[in-house]
Structure 1
Amino acid sequence: MIDGSAIWVQGMVQALARAGCEVTLVLKAPVQTGRLVDPLRALPGVTVRSPHAEGLFDGPGAMVPRHAATILARIDAGDPHDLIVVRGRQVAGRVAMGPLAGRLWTYLTDVPQSAAEFGASAKGELRRIADASHVLLCQTEELRGFLESAVPATSGKSVLFPPVVVLPAGLEARPPGAPGGPLRLVYTGKFAPRWNTYEMTSLPRLLAVRGVDAELHMIGDKVHDDPADAGFATRMRAALETGEGVVWHGGHPRAEAMRLTASCDVGLSWRAPSMDASLELSTKVLECGALGVPVVLNRTPMHEGLLGTDYPLFAATEDDVLDALTLVGKSPDVYLLAAGRCRTAAAGFTLDAAAGRLRGHLSQAFPEPSEKVLAVKGRRLRVGVAGHDLKFFTRLLDHLRSRPDMEVRVDHWAALKAHDEERSRDLAEWADVVICEWCGPNALWFAEHKRPGQRLVVRLHRFELYAPWPKQLDIDAVDHVICVSPHYNRLTREATGWPASKVVTIPNWVDDAQLDRAKLPGAEHHLGMIGMAPSRKRLDLALDVLEDLRRDDPRFTLFVKSKLPWEYWWIWQKEEERAHYEKVFRRIRRSRLLSGGVVFDDYGRDVASWLRRIGFVLSTSDDESFHLAPAEGMASGAVPALLGWPGADTIYNPRWIHESPSAMAASIAATVSLGRWEQDGDLARTQLRTAYALPEVCRQWTDLLTGAP
């Protein structure tokens, strides 16, 4: 039967194959018709497995999730796969508990789509799925943002994978031009109450009353049995068979269904209002667009983003649908406008576009090996990572683990000074290279226990520079000390006297692919600040900037994503810190200019989603070692705005650095008023990718560890 999941399977298999994968498709049900499966069997590099036909499953119907998990694991055990794509929360939840965990590329569709539906059980299951998944494939930006805010474990793993529109070979799109005869309406898919399919069957009769000659072509054979409306299936079948102006074509192979669609004038994707909050995008809408057939559909933010706020065929009620169809039936210009919008929208969802997205994800998940390492060692390079807090090393660790030329083990210290000494000794005896994240007691221990010929790399952060450990470190036992900026490289050498040849600068990484998301309307008037504590972050100076801007334009708003200062015990116990924030919050309450202009957002991992609303990211600190926030903003297309803290000009282009809050405000106002915001955002994004993008920083680390010149 033709439904969304069947169409998705076809597109997913074809996109994976075109991206260079050998694909095995496992069918959950016995094959009753080959109209969906046969075209896939004919693709090179694609194998279709039917557990029912092969005797792997002896049930009479479709496998339930627990059976599917067992069968998938059994098929994989015979010939292990590099990645396993699963669709649906229930199946993913089962598979996540088995031997395929870690290799899952999970496509989630049946996610509770409102906060009210998101109970503890749903969050727990999705967290387990996220932990077991290498990648979470999200159909829309709306779904990705919702997941990241509701389930923090999905952040950093969620990537966009929109629907794939594949036109069968030889299929011609609808000829350009307005309808020349009766207005031919078309619907394909299942017949169900919330899809308004019964109401659609009245449209030809009601349009005739308005003087529009129309006929409705309905394609599909799945009539929904609705427990809430026992008579629906009977009424629906009667309307399909006897409705005035209704032509029911029954079920057809997808190519034939699309050919019938291309022979019609207007597609119908008008649904019940309860579906307006859906975070999924209808593949049928995109297919109609690719065929040159405009679509009647509900007005939602997602659809407005796809087709424009002035698209003429948005409809909420039956009267809206009739008005829209009457308009296009009598106005060729409106019809051509709607068809052009749908055709342009569909162009971004082609098979080639999907394969390109997959190639990008695959290259990151499966990097090419270094032949030098394998040639010298005759085996994979053994890399040990030791530290008490690896939050700044997570994506680097993921990259090292993914490399086929490296074997990675982690010695996770329980605390800064507490570790399992036996485990540390095992790592020291095993590793070719040891990376100490933080120059603390871990670095002192591994420097003392370093083997001859073993390499030791220590990454030093701002926190340790003025602590006692660097002075105690035997620098002769260390091959490289990594600093994240030229400024802190210099300060480290000045404070320790270590030779310049030992101290190397490799910047912090920014996951530019995750952060590069479409901005929301109004972002150019939104300032962002990530982290407001301790007081040296200088929220008060950011408020100076905001006040200057709001004197002339009250649309400017400051969004602060941060824990509040009293949530850090080590900050709030200091009298001077409390005094600073009491003054700041009193000012926000009392200032006429700041009133309604400052928003405090929860601290969390959903930074990429949050940055969609931010047009400028501020850095007003007294001092920073790197300050990742402006760089993350740049990756998102926001414009960075910094005050000149020491070393800022060694990390960021001087054009983004300002002498004072008033100068910063003037620059922001000019950027917006002169229409340069998007251009400056594009420039900032380009600079970020060149210097600090995750692939570039991973390359620098890989070269250091492998000894590449």
Structure 2
Amino acid sequence: MTRTLRALVYGDVDLNLIDGSAVWAQSTVQALSRAGCRTRLVLKAPVETGRLTDPLAGLPGVTVVRPYEEQLVPGQGAHPLSPYQASQLLARLDAEEPCDLLVLRGRRLVKQIVGDRRFHGRIWAYLTDIPQSPAQMTEEDRADLTRIAEASGRLLCQTEELRCFLESWVPEACGRAVLCPPAVPEPGFPVPERHGPHDPVRLVYTGKFAPRWNTLPMTLLPARLAEHGIRAELHAVGDKIHKDAAHPGFDTAMAEALRTTPEVVHHGGVPREEAMRIAADCDLGLGWRDPSLDASLELSTKVLEFGSLGLPVVLNRTPAHEALLGTDYPLFVPGDAGLADAVDAVSVAVRDTGARRLAADRCTAAARQYTMEAAAARWRTHLDGAFPAAPAAVAGRGRPLRLAVAGHDLKFLTRLLDHFRALPGIEVRVDAWPALARHDPAASRELADWADVVVVEWCGPAAVWYSRHKRRGSRLIVRLHRFELDAGYPQQVDIDAVDRVVCVSPYYARSTRERTGWPASKITTIGNWVDVHQLDRPKAPGARHRLGMIGIAPSRKRLDLGLDVLEALRAHDRRWHLSVKSKPPWEYWWIWNKPEERAHYEAVLHRMQTSPLLEGAVVFDRFGPDVPNWLRRIGHVLSTSDDESFHLAPAEGMASGAVPALLPWPGSDEIYDRRWIHATPQAMAESIAALGEQDDWRSAGEAARGQVREGFSLERVAKEWTDLLVSG
């Protein structure tokens, strides 16, 4: 990203009331400013307090738009904007000064803006108010989220768990979903040293007051702790008290408890830095909630804020909190998270110096991953990927370079196409052939006459057609994979009309020269791309003992040899399993119609049913684009094929931190390090078993990840393709 980008930010949240969603709006603007964006924050409600907006004044490139005060929405009155009003206003602001991205929070709002269709492709949607468990997800939810994903440039997910859940249920989110966790500002003041708790012990809670956040039971803590001989006081910061139809009278009871309960000090709503100062002068943060929230896939901003101040925090034991703080974190509230359990956890923090210090260190270490500077760096990475710099060779052109992409199957070009479309100075059109040899000749002719450069994916009938209908002065680039050499299509191509033939591996580049006689000067090698950012995700527990195979059809993929590896491993250790992500072979009619293919898979399936070592050890997972999520569970990716042109599966596994294991198909050693290539399935199993220690396996995975980043990252491959397009 070299040009200054323009961002519009709007959340369906009231910034007069301090809670996590309002703090999100402030933090997002601060991070975008640090990332170099010109940012306009549009407020939903009339300004009653500047606690969250005042700190934004004077930030580089930041403007706060106040619709009520500036009278931008006729008939608004002193009311918050409705989603419809917000959508209309954002469209007007965009017409006056177009934005490159529209950052939104709130499903109802995003649904309205998607329906209005003015920002298609520019929406960066931050969604938390969505179903977060399979039991909650309805078909209506899936339909809404699918439309949102299709209209969005990016989907901003607070946690890895939320991203994976969304990708599992909404395939359209795959490739668009990126991590955007909470950002915690560094304290703008010296954090006091703590040599022991105050007397009375100071507990602190900041944020909204709501039933499921246990804020009413919290006010009982000082009295209950006194029964255990611990003097304590609760410092409560915030002024947003929920009215909850499921808990009638809660708001009245909460307000009364804050006002009248002994040893409860209510500081009201204060600016974020003042809230942090109050918390910094306390001994113990409270993040204890109702167990109904334990399944949440979100991350508590409070825990991170308290951690940035060196405060230990009492909170529920959940998978997300265990991942953040460790399973042995000493201040988890056990059991059903009742009041007695919370009292016990606070007692441990007060009386056990070692537990208190360990908890404080864990919270502090966790908060360091979520600083404002870290958030700005994440934003810069996301923006650089979405808005690549213009190639120097097209910067001085009078009009954009016209690029046409043609072919019957563009799955290996998807992210490259996204990259080309995002490049300033390049205009992209696609000629999608509905079948290998079927297309609309008139549409193809129009595109051939229009384009400066034509890229044909697969050296098949489309390459033959475009080589015979090339416009004088244009350039034609054909990508050849593997099957085309045996199908006879290259012999029909007019090679004189082709400027470059791109092969995906050195082996097939040589084979192409040898079998076609084409000039070596026209043949080049550019490997397949791997989206290392999407694939770089933490491994799930148990991944070290799970093998993975992606794609098992046709039979030359050799699932049978993968089973050989699995049996050899399970002969010594029954923890080993194999997961297969693939369409079943019978869904490919051109495979299933061949008797020898059917016989192969019948034998494989019979073997899995009858081998004692394979019983219950092989899982077939649904074919789909959620490969990064699936690879979290995989520790070793196998490539046992008879032959491949490149074989993307090991490279994707490497980017995920899995260890690749390949049999020596022709050309494999020119793509992958020989360290990962083994002579036989038995040798492959021995090498995998040798990584017996967790650290050995992780070290090998990191080495593999580094190799794929260096050789096949999307950024590197996209640059090689861009250079080829613009300079020949």
**What TM-score, normalized by structure 1, do the two folds share?**
0.98
Q: 1 CA distance for matches of 2:324 and 2:616?
A: 31
Maintained 8 Å contact 1:517/1:612 = yes
Maintained 8 Å contact 2:549/2:637 = yes
Q: Is 1:55 equivalent to 2:71 in the alignment?
A: yes
Residue from 203, 226, 249 that aligns with 1:208: 226
Q: Deviation per CA, 1:82-125, whole angstroms, max 9, x where unpaired?
A: 11111122211222232111111111111111112211211111
Determine the structure 2 residue equivalent to 1:251: 269
Residue from 27, 32, 47 that aligns with 1:31: 47
Q: Give the direction of change, closer, same or farther, for the CA distance of 1:674–1:72 in structure 2 (3 Å limit).
A: closer
Whichever residue aligns with residue 103 of structure 1, its letter is: R
Map 1:657-696 onto structure 2 (within 5 A): 657-673=677-693, 675-696=695-716
- Describe the SS at the equivalent of 1:652: coil
Determine the structure 2 residue equivalent to 1:439: 459
Maintained 8 Å contact 1:524/1:672 = no
Q: Is 1:319 equivalent to 2:335 in the alignment?
A: no
Runs in 1 of length 4+ with deviation above 4 angstroms? none
Q: 1 CA distance for matches of 2:242 and 2:631?
A: 41
Q: 2 CA distance for matches of 1:411 and 1:583?
A: 41
Q: 1 CA distance for matches of 2:694 and 2:427?
A: 53
The Cα of 1:59 is off from its aligned counterpart by 2.0
The Cα of 1:451 is off from its aligned counterpart by 2.1
Residue from 581, 596, 599 that aligns with 1:561: 581
- Describe the SS at the equivalent of 2:285: strand
Maintained 8 Å contact 1:86/1:105 = yes
Maintained 8 Å contact 2:544/2:694 = no
Q: Which moved more, 1:635-644 or 1:81-90?
A: 81-90
Determine the structure 1 residue equivalent to 2:32: 16
The Cα of 1:444 is off from its aligned counterpart by 1.7
Residue from 113, 128, 137 that aligns with 1:118: 137
The Cα of 1:674 is off from its aligned counterpart by 8.0
Maintained 8 Å contact 2:43/2:65 = yes
Whichever residue aligns with residue 170 of structure 2, its letter is: V
Residue from 314, 318, 324 that aligns with 1:300: 318
Q: Deviation per CA, 1:434-455, whole angstroms, max 9, x where unpaired?
A: 1111212221222112122211
Q: 2 CA distance for matches of 1:573 and 1:207?
A: 74
- Describe the SS at the equivalent of 2:306: helix
Q: Deviation per CA, 1:400-449, whole angstroms, max 9, x where unpaired?
A: 11111212122222332232223222222221111111212221222112
Determine the structure 2 residue equivalent to 1:158: 177
Maintained 8 Å contact 1:531/1:560 = yes
Residue from 659, 665, 668 that aligns with 1:648: 668
Q: Deviation per CA, 1:278-336, whole angstroms, max 9, x where unpaired?
A: 01101111000001111111111111111010001111232221111111111222111
The Cα of 1:147 is off from its aligned counterpart by 0.5
Q: 1 CA distance for matches of 2:192 and 2:345?
A: 20
Residue from 228, 239, 255 that aligns with 1:237: 255
Q: 2 CA distance for matches of 1:397 and 1:280?
A: 32
Question: How big is the alpha-carbon RMSD for the aligned residues of Structure 1 and Structure 2?
Answer: 1.4
Determine the structure 2 residue equivalent to 1:219: 237
Q: Which moved more, 1:353-362 or 1:315-324?
A: 315-324
Map 1:234-633 onto structure 2 (within 5 A): 234-315=252-333, 316-375=337-396, 377-633=397-653
Structure 2, unmatched stretches of 5+, are 1-16
Maintained 8 Å contact 2:187/2:309 = no
Q: 2 CA distance for matches of 1:382 and 1:565?
A: 39
Q: 2 CA distance for matches of 1:508 and 1:281?
A: 35
Whichever residue aligns with residue 266 of structure 1, its letter is: L
- Describe the SS at the equivalent of 1:363: helix
Q: 2 CA distance for matches of 1:44 and 1:485?
A: 47
Q: Which moved more, 1:560-569 or 1:206-215?
A: 560-569
Q: 2 CA distance for matches of 1:480 and 1:102?
A: 32
Q: Is 1:77 equivalent to 2:95 in the alignment?
A: yes
Q: Give the direction of change, closer, same or farther, for the CA distance of 1:109–1:116 in structure 2 (3 Å limit).
A: same
The Cα of 1:569 is off from its aligned counterpart by 2.4
Q: 1 CA distance for matches of 2:312 and 2:82?
A: 38
Map 1:127-206 onto structure 2 (within 5 A): 127-167=146-186, 169=188, 171-206=189-224
- Describe the SS at the equivalent of 1:96: helix
Q: 2 CA distance for matches of 1:72 and 1:672?
A: 56
The Cα of 1:572 is off from its aligned counterpart by 2.2
Aligned-pair identity in percent equals 61
- Describe the SS at the equivalent of 1:116: coil
Q: Which moved more, 1:575-584 or 1:400-409?
A: 575-584
Whichever residue aligns with residue 300 of structure 2, its letter is: S
Q: 2 CA distance for matches of 1:373 and 1:206?
A: 71
Maintained 8 Å contact 1:619/1:641 = yes
Maintained 8 Å contact 1:411/1:424 = yes
Determine the structure 1 residue equivalent to 2:14: none
Q: Deviation per CA, 1:38-96, whole angstroms, max 9, x where unpaired?
A: 11123121001112222222323112222211111111011101111111222112222
Q: 2 CA distance for matches of 1:505 and 1:255?
A: 55
- Describe the SS at the equivalent of 1:392: helix
Maintained 8 Å contact 1:172/1:291 = no
Determine the structure 2 residue equivalent to 1:66: 84
The Cα of 1:678 is off from its aligned counterpart by 0.9
- Describe the SS at the equivalent of 1:71: helix
Maintained 8 Å contact 1:526/1:559 = yes
The Cα of 1:168 is off from its aligned counterpart by 5.0
Q: Deviation per CA, 1:8-41, whole angstroms, max 9, x where unpaired?
A: 1111000000000000001111111111111112
Q: 2 CA distance for matches of 1:133 and 1:662?
A: 47
Determine the structure 1 residue equivalent to 2:7: none
Q: 2 CA distance for matches of 1:219 and 1:675?
A: 44
Whichever residue aligns with residue 275 of structure 1, its letter is: L
Whichever residue aligns with residue 191 of structure 2, its letter is: A
Structure 1, unmatched stretches of 5+, are none
Q: Which moved more, 1:459-468 or 1:391-400?
A: 459-468
Whichever residue aligns with residue 617 of structure 1, its letter is: V
Q: 1 CA distance for matches of 2:271 and 2:628?
A: 40
Q: Which moved more, 1:575-584 or 1:277-286?
A: 575-584
Maintained 8 Å contact 1:178/1:335 = no
Q: Which moved more, 1:281-290 or 1:487-496?
A: 487-496
Maintained 8 Å contact 1:172/1:262 = no
Q: Give the direction of change, closer, same or farther, for the CA distance of 1:18–1:387 in structure 2 (3 Å limit).
A: same
**What TM-score, normalized by structure 2, do the two folds share?**
0.95
Q: Is 1:40 equivalent to 2:56 in the alignment?
A: yes
The Cα of 1:181 is off from its aligned counterpart by 2.1
Q: Which moved more, 1:403-412 or 1:475-484?
A: 403-412
The Cα of 1:206 is off from its aligned counterpart by 0.6
Q: 2 CA distance for matches of 1:296 and 1:8?
A: 23
Maintained 8 Å contact 1:635/1:684 = yes
The Cα of 1:247 is off from its aligned counterpart by 1.2
Q: 2 CA distance for matches of 1:44 and 1:673?
A: 49
Maintained 8 Å contact 2:187/2:308 = no
